[in-house]
Every structure is written in C-alpha cells, then in structure tokens.
C-alpha cells in the first residue's frame, strides 16, 4: 500500500501540481515577451495567476442548462491533468504502466474534443463556427503528432514513451527524430492555439469561437486547461525528442526539462507575435504539407538514420 | 474659364435639353466650377442616364430640401462630378407638396441607393422605382410621417418611445444560415449591424442596418447654430478627420458667399489636412493588422503615429479637433517655432514608415490573408461610386485634390497612387504610398508657405439663396459639404456626406463568395473610423476642486500600478 503511494500516487500528484501551477507562469513569461516585441511594458509575469483568481471568484453564468454542459470545463482541465501523468517530466511518466503512446494521443485529443462539444452546446453561431474550425484543425494536426511519435516508436521498437526516451538517451541524436521533433513543434503551435493558428478562437472574427459563451469560473478552467495543454505538450516534445543530457537525478533532469520548455515556449511566443492569423483552409493546407514532410522522418528511421 | 470648359458646359446643357425633352427649366452657373440645372422631375432619370453614360459623370450625393417657405415646393438635388473637367453638375427638381414623388435614379446609378432612401426619410419625398426603399436614416422606433428635415419640424422634437420595434431585415436565401456581425462587434468601433448569409463559411449574401449613431447634425446646422458656430460641430462629425469636415464646410460657405481665403491660410489648411492623413493612415494600418490578429503591426504603427499627434498639439493646442477653422480662413497661425520640429517629426515618421512598409511587403502570411481577398472590381467601384483609397485600389483615379483642387493643392499637387487588383492588399499598398506622399506634401507646403494674413475680413452679411459645393479628400475618400445659404446668419440647408457613406455600400459586392474570416478585414480595408479620449478630469466632491491630469501624470499612474504588480 505504502509502496503504491510512493511509486505512483506521489509522482502523479507532482506532475499534476507542476502542470497546474507552472502553466500560468509560462503564460506570464510569454505575455511579457509579446509586450516587449510590441514596445509595451506589459502586465507583470504573475498576471495569469491573478486572472484565474479573479475569474474563479465571479458568478457562474451559463447560456444553456444541463449537467453535462455544466461539467465540461472541469472535464477539459481534468483530461489535461490526466495527460500530465502520462508524460515524463524529469523522470519516468508516473502512470506509464496504464497506457502507452496510443493512449497519450487519445488523451491529448480529448481536451480539444471537449472544447468542440462545449462550442456546439453553447447555442451561439460564433461558437458553432469556432467548433467546426477547431474540429478541422484537430483533424489536420493530430496525424502529425502521431507520425512524429511513431518515428520514436519505430526506432525504439516500443510504444511506451519511457522506452522511446531511454532509447534516445542511449543512442543520441538522429536525423529522423530531429525531423519528427520539428514536425511536432509545428503542430504544437496549433495545439496551443497560438498565431498564426488561433483560428478557432479568432477574437476579431468570431469573438473567441467555442468559448464565446464562457465566463467567470468556467472561463477560468478553460483558460487554465489551454495553458496546461501547451505546457504538457511542450514537456512531451522536449522529453521524447530532445532528452539529452540525462543525468538520472530526477530533480536536475526536471530543472533541465523546464529550461528546455522555456526555450520552446519562447519560440512559440515569437512565432505568435510576428504572424497574422491564417484562414482555416490555408492552415489545413499548411498542415497537410507538414504531415507529408514528416513522413520523411519515418523514411529516415527505416534506413536507420 | 477657358474654352474647353465652356465647350463642356455647352455640351451638358445640350444633353440636358435633349434628354429632358423640353422640361429644362433653367441653366445657371453660380460658380466657375458649378453648373446648376433645374429640370422637371419627370425628366430626371433620363437626364441622369445621359450624364452618367454619355459624359461619364460620377454621382456624388442627393440633397432633399424643404423650399416651401421660399418657392412653395420641396426640391430634390442630385450632385454629379465631371472629374476630368473639374466641374460639378447640380440637377434640381422642384417637387410639389401635393405629389411627393420623384423617379428613382438608383436603377441607373446603383450608388444613389442610400442617398435616395435618406431624402425619403428626411423630407418625405418618395423615390419611385427604388429597388429597396426601406428605412435608412431614422431609428426603428421613429414614428411614420415625421420628417425631421422639413422646415416646420422642431429640432428638439422627442417622439414617444415605441417598444419592441425591430429593423426590417431581409431573410436569408434558401439553404443559407445567418451569422450576425454587430450591432456591437469587437472589430467594429462603431455600431453597425451586418447580417451575413452563409453556406458553411462561404458568404452568399448580406444585409445591413446602420445609422445607429445618427445625431441630427444637419438639423442643428439649419435651425440652431450660426455660420461661425458650425465649424466646431462639423469638426466633431468624425474623431479622426475632424479638420477635414470643418475645412470642407468653411470652403462651401466661402464659395457660396464669394469669400477669398488668403494664400497663407490655404497653405496652413493643406498642411493640417495632410497631417491628418498621415496619422489616419498609420492608425488604419494598425487596425488592419489587429483585425487579422497581427497586433505587432498595431502596436508599432501607433507608436510611430504618436509624435504626429504631439506636433498637432504643438500647432493647435489639441491632439485632435483643432478648432482652427473659421469662415474666411483660420483662427490660429502656424507658429514659427513649430516648423523645425515638424520637419524633424516628419523625418522620423518617414524613416519608420518605410521600415514598416518593407516589413509588410515581405510578409508572406500577410499576403495570404489580403491578396485576392475582398475584391472590388473596377466595374462595381464605378457603379457604386466608391471614393478614396478603395476606388484608387480598383483602378479609378478619383482624388478630390486633383479633380477639384482646393486649399493650396493647385500649387502643391499630390501624385496619386493607383492599383488595379482591387483586393485588400491593393488597398494596403495604396494607403502606404499615400502616407509617404503626404509626408512629401507637408514638406513642400512648408517650403512654399508665404507670409501674410491667415483670415479674410468679412464685412458684409452672407447673402441668402446661394449654393456652395465643396469637397475635401479625407483619408477615407472624398468628403462633400453642400451649403444653401439662408437668412438669420445660418445656412438654409447644410448637407454632409462622409466618404464611408459611399464606400460602405460597396461591401455586399466585395464580400460575396468570400469566407467569414475575410469579412472583418474586408470591411476594415474600406473604412475604420473612431475617436478616443486622451485626458481625464476628476472632481473632488468634498472640496469641489478640479484636478486635471496631464499625459505624463496619467502615464506615470498607470505604470506605477504595473510596477506595484497591481491587479487593482
């Protein structure tokens, strides 16, 4: 019983806590960077925490009734916390025994599907448009994540993320994994809902898309979920595709991973700030090209590069 | 007036006589550039057809006016411009109070759509054969049969509130659904209601209801204010091109009264007008960036724009709404110490504007969002009588500064930029070129500005029953003011047409077959217009002390809050 507590429950709790409480901080840093490029002073780095606090303290208004609709924000955040326990952060993923790469892909897609459902359920034309855009984006981005992770699976001959990670640490960098990582990074921009791919939210066109009817605590949970998503997927990227150097000391490895996550998120923020928004058809065309290019990574993996 | 102009005038008279089949009542030429034809209303559509199709006249605006106290009739005037000949043609038809109808000209000139609906609302003359005679100007709860611009209608009339009224809006075509945009929408700074009819994300049609902001300005002009008070009201028509409207109004009155503005006054007007274009185009570029999610462009262009506002404040005392214009010239001279500063500011703005231009020219994602988007074909631009940058981006070389020179533009003529593509990108390119051209114009005007008086001395009353037509090329296109002088030291009728009035009518043709994602940027590329407050005044209720915060203080307060890490 105690063994279970130490080997599974506590690490799970640690990953969940990291994902929950670090994600607003990274968001704050990204906002500050955005402001700097805008020639603005910008909000303090802690602003996202205050945003969440303020939103959580507001009245809960709903455009439609129903228990499922009411619980969607909580489920969305929960699905991402589940993802956090399936992803290695400095050490092996705590729930790795429960599921492999396939489960990770499903759980990663779950939050997007839940947001799409929220949009369709909220009885607003803007939300419906946003949801259908989100759906199209999901369908064009998900294959890229699958291909990129499959490269690792193919090379390490295992579907377990920890297995891929260990194989990477032992065998060092390879061309195929680098291309896979790049494709994953490009998909991350859309998964995180950043420009030029924030098409589903598109404030100026459809006023926040699927989330247009969300406010107060419900909006807080959705915001939190989005920030958590970008952080956890970032961890997935740096841990699976760029795990070196791996010291074997969990705390140091974690610090290093956090540093790498910061670098990736800074890149995401820079791309976000120097691009206008694409149209949904243009974005889908782009991701179809990325998906085909990422097949090259599989080809390299087959010839052992 | 040279021979060629006389030939044109003779040709128009001939055409009007032939087309009206003997119904031409009179033909006068109140000013060298204005031909005033009075014709019977039965011949109106026929004469207009001839003017537009044979002489390539461009429709500008219609004016409905209640002349009953003077002639016993109503009158409808249609104003046209012959751009190459620098001539205005004013067609007037008396309308008897017993038969308040006139043939609609919209079937011949689609661009007259709103203008005709407007006089129907304002004076109650019905345009017969109008394809869409719904209410335009008046609020939806305004009572039927109350025509605010009739002479016997009090300016302070308050109709009883009517609950549960809705705009008369069209239903979508079969199979299409409605996506509403407005009346309040994030990227529309002012209320306007667009109903987009969509199939999936593709637009198959649209309907609109605007005029939520109608303030009754024209009514105030001919019933409450006097000639010299109106410039201040005119300046407040728009928060961005205020000086343009006050200049345009003053010019119309000056023309009607035959007042000659001193040369220095005309130069200062030119400089201020071009400064307005510079800051307006920078503002527009920022908003266009914001609409497609490119906030870096917004933040940087508005940063570049700020010194222009400061120099305007240095010259006039205000960032905006300068209060400098008056009938006959200006109330405030261009101070000598502002000149070197102005030149310095222009150099800095030019350098940064070129940097922005180079950045956006090479941005492929920006091209993807603007090229081929919101195409306004040359044919439609002509039909709807579009003006300003949207017209010039569709290959129509229309520019009031060239077509009807005013202020000092005859001495410092602008080089106008045109494009043929008619898409959003072409409108960006035209505006950026104009921005740089305006900087050059201000420099040239500064170099050529003469010394001397800035305002003409007016000793006599402005005579009644004269007309004056004036245009000013605003950043968004040609603004038109029409003044008919009256007694009581105020106009009998003052008609204003802002450029957006013409350009917005082109939107339905422009967004057709595009997607929802393209609508905001297409609308934005035709016209955004808004005003903002920069100062704050607080009153301490206990001591009744007034404290006015300066720009620097306000900045310091807000920055202090950020430094304290405050969430209020």
Same domain, yes or no, for B561 and B513? no
Q: Among B294, B520, B559, select the one facing A205 at the smallest CB separation.
A: B520
Tell whether B293 is within 8 A of chain A (Cβ).
yes
The residue from B148, B167, B199 where one domain ends is: B148
Cβ contact, residue pair B186, A202, below 8 Å: no
* Residue B562 and residue A47 in contact, taking contact as beta carbons nearer than 8 Å: no
CATH of the domain at B58: 3.30.460.80
Same domain, yes or no, for B286 and B398? yes
Same domain, yes or no, for B335 and B385? yes
Cα–Cα distance between B510 and B374 in angstroms, integer?
5
Cα–Cα distance between B122 and B145 in angstroms, integer?
10
- Is B444 contained in some domain? yes
Tell whether B202 is within 8 A of chain A (Cβ).
no
Find the closest chain B residue to A49 by CA distance: B567
Domain residue limits at B542: 535-568
The number of residues making up chain A comes to 305
Output Rg (C-alpha) for chain A, integer angstroms.
Answer: 19
- Is B30 contained in some domain? yes
State the best of B178, B287, B291, B292 to mutate against chain A, taking most chain A CBs within 10 Å: B292
Residue B533's pLDDT band (boundaries 50, 70, 90)? very low
State the best of A276, A278, A286 to mutate against chain B, taking most chain B CBs within 10 Å: A276
Q: How far is CA B451 from the centre of its chain?
A: 31
How confident is the model at residue B547, as a pLDDT?
63
Same domain, yes or no, for B267 and B406? yes
Q: How far is CA B481 from the centre of its chain?
A: 9
* Residue A24 and residue A227 in contact, taking contact as beta carbons nearer than 8 Å: yes
Cα–Cα distance between B567 and A206 in angstroms, integer?
28
How confident is the model at residue A146, as a pLDDT?
94
Q: How far is B275 from chain A (nearest CA, A)?
A: 24
Residues B39/B44/B48/B50 CA torsion (nearest 10 deg)? -80
State the best of B304, B567, B568 to mutate against chain A, taking most chain A CBs within 10 Å: B567
- Dump pLDDT digits (tens) for B331-385: 999 998 999 999 999 999 999 999 999 988 888 888 999 999 999 999 999 999 9
- Dump pLDDT digits (tens) for B74-120: 999 999 999 999 999 999 999 999 999 999 999 999 999 999 999 99
Cβ contact, residue pair B365, A196, below 8 Å: yes
Same domain, yes or no, for B364 and B386? yes
DSSP string computed for B275-309: HHHHHHHHHHHHHHHHHTT-HHHHHHHHHHHHHHH
Same domain, yes or no, for B540 and B452? no
- Is B175 contained in some domain? no
Same domain, yes or no, for B437 and B552? no
Cβ contact, residue pair B177, A50, below 8 Å: no
Tell whether A60 is within 8 A of chain B (Cβ).
no
Cα–Cα distance between A71 and A245 in angstroms, integer?
42
- Is B259 contained in some domain? yes
Output Rg (C-alpha) for chain B, integer angstroms.
Answer: 24
Cβ contact, residue pair A276, B180, below 8 Å: no
Q: How far is CA B463 from the centre of its chain?
A: 27
Tell whether A190 is within 8 A of chain B (Cβ).
no
Q: How far is A196 from chain B (nearest CA, A)?
A: 8
For range B505-515, the mean pLDDT? 88
Q: Which of A177, A187, A186, A154 is nearest to A239 (CA)?
A: A177
Cβ contact, residue pair B296, A37, below 8 Å: yes
Same domain, yes or no, for B515 and B562? no
* Residue A87 and residue A235 in contact, taking contact as beta carbons nearer than 8 Å: yes
Q: Residues of B with CB below 8 A from A273's CB?
A: 295-296
Tell whether A281 is within 8 A of chain B (Cβ).
yes
Q: How far is B523 from chain A (nearest CA, A)?
A: 11
Same domain, yes or no, for B259 and B388? yes
Inform me whether the pLDDT recorded for B528 exceeds 60: no
DSSP string computed for B363-413: -HHHHHHHTTSS---HHHHHHTT--HHHHHHTT----HHHHS--TTTTTSP
Q: Pick left, alpha or beta for residue A207 (phi over 0 → left; psi -120 to 50 → alpha; otherwise beta).
A: left
Find the closest chain A residue to B189 by CA distance: A204
Same domain, yes or no, for B320 and B396? yes
Cβ contact, residue pair A41, B292, below 8 Å: no
Each of the 305 residues of chain A gets a pLDDT tens digit; together they read 688 888 888 999 999 999 999 999 999 999 999 999 999 999 999 999 999 999 999 998 887 878 888 899 999 999 999 999 999 998 888 888 888 899 999 999 999 999 999 999 988 888 999 999 999 999 999 999 999 999 999 999 999 999 999 999 999 999 999 999 999 999 999 999 998 999 988 888 888 889 999 999 999 999 999 999 999 999 999 999 999 888 889 899 999 999 999 999 999 999 999 999 999 999 999 999 999 999 999 899 888 87
What is the domain count for chain B? 3
What is the domain count for chain A? 1
For range B528-535, the mean pLDDT? 35
Domain residue limits at A52: 2-302
Same domain, yes or no, for B135 and B233? no
Same domain, yes or no, for B298 and B418? yes
The residue from B114, B148, B182 where one domain ends is: B148
Question: Which residue reads 């119904």 in tokens?
Answer: B23
How confident is the model at residue B327, as a pLDDT?
95
Cβ contact, residue pair B369, A276, below 8 Å: yes
Cβ contact, residue pair A202, B293, below 8 Å: yes
DSSP string computed for A115-165: HHHHHHHT--HHHHHHHHHHHHHHHHHHHHHHHHHHHHHHHHT-S-HHHHH
Cα–Cα distance between B201 and B516 in angstroms, integer?
6
Q: DSSP code of A91?
A: S
Q: Under 8 Å CB-to-CB from A51, ≥6 apart: which residues?
A: A24, A220, A223
Question: Which residue reads 């030429």 in tokens?
Answer: B29
Q: How far is A271 from chain B (nearest CA, A)?
A: 11
* Residue B63 and residue B82 in contact, taking contact as beta carbons nearer than 8 Å: no
Inform me whether the pLDDT recorded for B314 exceeds 60: yes
The residue from B100, B133, B148 where one domain ends is: B148
Give the predicted TM-score (pTM) of the model.
Answer: 0.90
How confident is the model at residue B444, as a pLDDT?
96
Tell whether A212 is within 8 A of chain B (Cβ).
no
* Residue A77 and residue A225 in contact, taking contact as beta carbons nearer than 8 Å: yes
Copy the structure tokens of residue A89.
């952060």
- Is B141 contained in some domain? yes
């Amino acid at each position: 019983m105690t063994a279970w507590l130490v080997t599974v429950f506590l690490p799970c709790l640690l990953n969940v806590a990291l994902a929950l409480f670090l994600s607003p901080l990274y968001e704050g840093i990204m906002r500050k960077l955005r402001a700097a490029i805008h020639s603005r002073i910008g909000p303090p780095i802690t602003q996202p925490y205050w945003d969440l606090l303020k939103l959580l303290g507001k009245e809960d208004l709903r455009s439609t009734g129903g228990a499922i609709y009411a619980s969607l924000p909580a489920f969305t955040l929960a699905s991402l916390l589940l993802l956090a326990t399936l992803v290695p952060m400095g050490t092996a993923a705590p729930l790795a025994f429960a599921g492999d790469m396939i489960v990770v892909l499903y759980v990663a897609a779950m939050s997007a599907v839940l947001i799409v459902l929220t949009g369709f359920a909220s009885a607003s034309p803007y939300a419906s448009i946003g949801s259908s855009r989100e759906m199209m984006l999901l369908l064009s981005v998900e294959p890229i994540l699958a291909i990129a992770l499959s490269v690792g699976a193919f090379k390490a001959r295992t579907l377990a993320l920890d297995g891929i990670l260990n194989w990477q640490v032992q065998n060092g960098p390879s061309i195929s994994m680098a291309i896979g990582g790049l494709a994953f990074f490009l998909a991350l921009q859309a998964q995180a809902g950043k420009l030029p791919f924030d098409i589903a939210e598109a404030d100026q066109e459809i006023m926040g898309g699927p989330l247009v009817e969300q406010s107060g605590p419900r909006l807080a949970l959705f915001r939190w979920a989005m920030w958590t998503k970008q952080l956890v997927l970032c961890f997935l990227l740096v841990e699976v595709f760029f795990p070196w150097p791996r010291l074997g000391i969990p705390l140091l490895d974690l610090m290093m991973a956090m540093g790498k996550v910061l670098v990736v998120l800074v890149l995401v923020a820079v791309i976000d700030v120097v691009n206008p928004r694409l149209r949904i058809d243009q974005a889908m065309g782009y991701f179809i090209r990325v998906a085909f290019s990422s097949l090259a990574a599989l080809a390299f993996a087959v010839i052992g590069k | 007036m040279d021979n060629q102009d006389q030939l044109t005038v003779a040709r128009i008279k001939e055409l009007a006589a032939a087309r009206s089949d003997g119904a031409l009542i009179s033909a006068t030429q109140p000013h060298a550039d204005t031909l005033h034809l009075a014709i019977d209303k039965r011949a109106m559509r026929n004469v207009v057809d001839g003017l537009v199709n044979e002489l390539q006249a461009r429709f500008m605006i219609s004016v409905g006016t209640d002349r009953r106290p003077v002639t016993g009739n109503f009158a409808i005037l249609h104003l046209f411009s012959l751009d190459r000949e620098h001539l205005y043609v004013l067609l007037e038809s008396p309308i008897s109070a017993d038969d308040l109808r006139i043939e609609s000209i919209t079937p011949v000139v689609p661009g007259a759509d709103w203008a005709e609906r407007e006089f129907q609302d304002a004076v109650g003359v019905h345009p017969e054969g109008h394809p869409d005679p719904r209410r335009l100007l008046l609020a939806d709860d305004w009572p039927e049969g109350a025509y605010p611009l009739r002479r016997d209608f009090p300016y302070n009339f308050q109709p009883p509130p009517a609950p549960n009224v809705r705009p008369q809006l069209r239903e979508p075509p079969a199979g299409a659904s409605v996506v509403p945009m407005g009346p309040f929408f994030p990227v529309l700074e002012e209320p306007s209601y667009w109903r987009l009819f969509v199939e999936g994300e593709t637009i198959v049609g649209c309907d609109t209801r605007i005029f939520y902001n109608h303030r009754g300005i024209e009514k105030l002009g001919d019933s409450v204010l006097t000639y010299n008070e109106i410039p201040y009201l005119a300046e407040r028509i728009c928060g961005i091109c205020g000086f343009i409207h006050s200049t345009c109004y003053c010019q119309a009155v000056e023309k009607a009264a035959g007042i000659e503005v001193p040369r220095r006054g005309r130069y200062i007007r030119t400089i201020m007008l071009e400064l307005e274009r510079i800051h307006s185009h920078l503002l527009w570029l920022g908003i266009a960036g914001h609409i497609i999610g490119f906030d870096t462009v917004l933040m940087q262009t508005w940063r570049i724009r700020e010194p222009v506002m400061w120099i305007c404040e240095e010259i006039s005392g205000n960032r905006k709404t300068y209060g400098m214009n008056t009938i006959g010239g200006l109330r405030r001279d261009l101070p000598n110490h502002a000149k070197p500063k102005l030149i310095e500011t222009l150099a800095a703005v030019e350098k940064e504007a070129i940097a922005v231009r180079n950045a956006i020219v090479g941005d492929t994602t920006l091209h993807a969002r603007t090229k081929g988007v919101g195409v306004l074909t040359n044919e439609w631009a002509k039909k709807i009588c579009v003006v300003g940058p949207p017209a010039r981006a569709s290959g129509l070389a229309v520019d009031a500064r060239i077509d009807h020179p005013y202020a000092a533009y005859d001495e410092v003529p602008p080089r106008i930029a045109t494009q043929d593509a008619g898409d959003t990108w072409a409108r960006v390119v035209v505006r950026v070129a104009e921005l740089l051209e305006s900087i050059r114009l201000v420099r040239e005007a500064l170099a050529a500005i003469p010394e001397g008086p800035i305002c003409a001395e007016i000793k006599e009353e402005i005579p009644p029953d004269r007309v004056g037509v004036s245009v000013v090329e605003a950043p968004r296109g040609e603004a038109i003011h029409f003044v008919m002088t009256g007694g009581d030291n105020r106009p009998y009728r003052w008609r204003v047409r802002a450029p957006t009035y013409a350009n917005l009518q082109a939107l339905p043709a422009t967004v057709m077959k595009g997607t929802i994602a393209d609508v905001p940027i297409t609308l934005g590329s035709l016209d955004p217009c808004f005003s903002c407050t920069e100062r704050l005044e607080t009153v301490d209720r206990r001591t009744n002390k007034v404290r006015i915060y300066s720009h620097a203080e306000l900045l310091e307060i807000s920055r202090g809050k950020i430094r304290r890490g405050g969430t209020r």
